[in-house]
Amino acid sequence: FLVGGLGTRLGDIARDAPKPMLPVAGKPFIEHLLAKAARNGFDRALLLAGHRSEVVTRHVEAANLVARLGMEIAVSIEPEPMGTGGALSHARDLLDDTFLLLNGDTWFDFDWRALADREAYDGMMALRMVEPLVVSSSAKAPRQPLPAHDGADFLKTVPGFSVIRKGGTDGDPVF
């Protein structure tokens, strides 16, 4: 799970904790995601933390999530903000050859295990657009629809859910 973003659009609400640690129905949102992962048959989770990583680590330990959810939970802490690709590269030695990559602040209501168990693909991404994407060259410029793309930058612009296989010559995740 990606749990290291600054949450700048939320302003002061996310100043002291990353977005996935903000409360929803009485507990941090990431806890809802971890519980769903456990219900879907996953027994391990890796949290890729950055901004206020100590809040994530402290909660995993204090809430006794490992015992309560019956799954191994590890936290990989970025030494500096490195973005999605950097967070994955930093954690590459902790990743299985095939893994799910989820945003820690997004809910997907389907069976994650069914997606993860698809063996017919060398790599796959499943993305969901939450709202129409728009771009603008400045905050004052009118917003325009996102131009057509070849997919190379898609992960950077669309909140998503991915099944990724390690690859490349150095074992880094391949998008």
pLDDT in tens, 1-19: 999 888 888 888 888 999 9
Band of pLDDT at residue 152, cut at 50, 70 and 90: very low
Q: Can you read off the two tokens belonging to residue 78?
A: 């970025």
Any idea which of 21-25, 78-82, 128-132, 137-141 has the lowest mean pLDDT? 137-141
CA distances, 75 to each of 1, 28, 58, 125, 142 (Å):
10, 16, 10, 23, 40
**Mean of the per-residue pLDDT values for the chain?**
76
Statement: the pTM of the whole predicted model exceeds 0.85: no
